[in-house]
Each structure stands twice: as structure tokens, then as C-alpha cells.
Amino acid sequence: MLGSFLDRAWRLAGTAVAFPLLFGGASVVAGVAFPILQAVTPETRLRRERNQNLVHLLFRLYSGLLWALRLIDIEIEGRERLNNGPARIIVANHPSLLDVVLLMGLVRRAQCVVKHELWQSPYLGAVVRGAGYIRNDLDSAALLDACRAALDSGNHLIIFPEGTRSVPGEPIRFRRGFANIATTLGTEIQPVTISCSPATLTKGEKWWAIPNRRPRFRVEIGERLNTRLWLSCEQRPRAARKIVRHFEEYYAGRLGRG
């Protein structure tokens, strides 16, 4: 009983430090690190790549810090599947605020499609702009061109097709954008399934509402799907709809949701 109380007190204190560190660190990166990189890297494309690599490194260090402080447990399955093959679209479900941190800390060369609201965020806006991430409210032609450029440069494209964090217990519902991009560009899709038990930092939950025991995040990297196989026997819009249904069923099976 005392041990559980002390563990929860430790996690609450640690979270009170770690949560502001995430957003405060973003301000330091945008206000100090990015300008330094800009000064020494005049070429726009290379500067953007260096900014993205810095975000990857810091997210990886931050994930390790949460684990070292025993605030969360992390289990990764299929990590080697990220290290082979061409640039692709990586899709993931979105149960927690930490999903982006965990996934982008795993994927070294990553471009991310982000909610347009983040571009105006007082905490993360300067980071997503400096890293050159792609706004999800671009018109279809501009969005497609940006995604094509990211993949052509060798970057994986990370998309959370739900558009926002999942509602616990509700079925997974994906927007069709990722499938439209994949079928238009003929690129592969790699699913990443993220689960957290007990749930934490879910949609609408306050940061201090920590669970009674340490959350365990499990990140499963799945096998890639070749979208060209779908296009060989279907028109593109119909193939995109079928791909969305395929992945909704895929995630429902792994997360136990109907």
C-alpha cells in the first residue's frame, strides 16, 4: 500500500517536471537551436533536414528520460521493419499525447503531416514551422506536392489518420487522406499500432490525472502494404476507400475494438 502511494507520488512529481519540459524545450529549440542551425546552414532543404534530425534526437532523448524516471514503460516490437525498404507512409493510431514523441523518436528520417492549428500554437508552432512539417489544411494539389517532395527526398511520411487523439473504447475511424496520397503516389503504407495500459494523456484529460499504476506503451511496427496491388484491380478512389477499411479493421483487431 505504501509502495503504491510512493510510486504514484513519484510519478506525479516527475510528470510535473517532465510535462513543462516538453513545451519549454520546444521553445528553446525554436528560439535557440533552430536559429543557430539557420546561421550555419544557408541552404533551405539541408537546414530543414537538420532541424528534423534535431527534433528526432530530442524526442528520442525525451522518451528515454520518461523511461529512466520510471514515469512510463515502453515496449517496441518490430523495430527492424523501420530500417529497410524505401521511403513510405507510416500511419499510426493516436491514443495519447505522447504518441508523436514516441514515434518520431523511432523514425530518423521523418516528415510529418500536422494539424494546421499547431502552426499557430504558442508552444509548438515555431518547431513545426522550423522543421518544415506539412500542414493538413493545404489544398489538395499543394498537399500532394509536399508529400511527394518529402518521399522523393528519402523521408518517411508520418500521418495520424484519425486527425486527433482517439476516444477510449470507441471504434477507430480513419480519414481518407492518407490512402488518397498513397494511391496517387503509389507508395507503400506501414502501420504502427500504439497501445497504452492504463490509458493516460487521452483526449480531454488533464496532465496531472495520472493513472494509479505506471502506464505501459506498446509500439508495434507492422508489415508494409503495397498500394500498387490494390490499384491493379481497382480505380483509385475505390482503392483508397478499401485501404481505409482495411486499416480500420487491422487496428480494430489489434486493439480489440469493434
Residue closest to 22 by CA, chosen among 79, 54, 52, 65: 65
pLDDT of residue 170: 86
pLDDT of residue 167: 86
Q: Report pLDDT digits (tens) over 228-258.
A: 877 766 688 888 999 999 999 999 999 986 5
Strand partners, 191: 91
Q: What residue spans define the domains of the chain? A: 2-255
pLDDT of residue 84: 81
Architecture of the domain spanning 2-255: 3-Layer(aba) Sandwich (3.40)
Distances (CA, A) of 43 to 29, 46, 50: 19, 6, 11
| Overall average pLDDT of the 138-152 stretch | 94
Residue 221 has pLDDT above 60, yes or no: yes
pLDDT of residue 257: 64
Q: Report pLDDT digits (tens) over 74-124.
A: 999 999 998 888 999 999 999 999 999 999 999 988 999 988 888 888 778
pLDDT of residue 204: 86
Model confidence band, residue 198 (pLDDT cutoffs 50, 70, 90): very high
Strands (E), the chain: 73-77, 89-92, 110-114, 134-135, 156-159, 189-197, 216-221
Residue 2 has pLDDT above 80, yes or no: no
Model confidence band, residue 208 (pLDDT cutoffs 50, 70, 90): confident
Q: Report pLDDT digits (tens) over 9-51.
A: 999 999 999 988 888 888 888 888 888 988 988 888 888 899 9
pLDDT of residue 207: 84
pLDDT of residue 250: 96
pLDDT of residue 258: 52
Q: Report pLDDT digits (tens) over 52-63.
A: 999 999 999 999
pLDDT of residue 66: 95
Between CA 130 and CA 29 the distance in angstroms is 10
Model confidence band, residue 197 (pLDDT cutoffs 50, 70, 90): very high
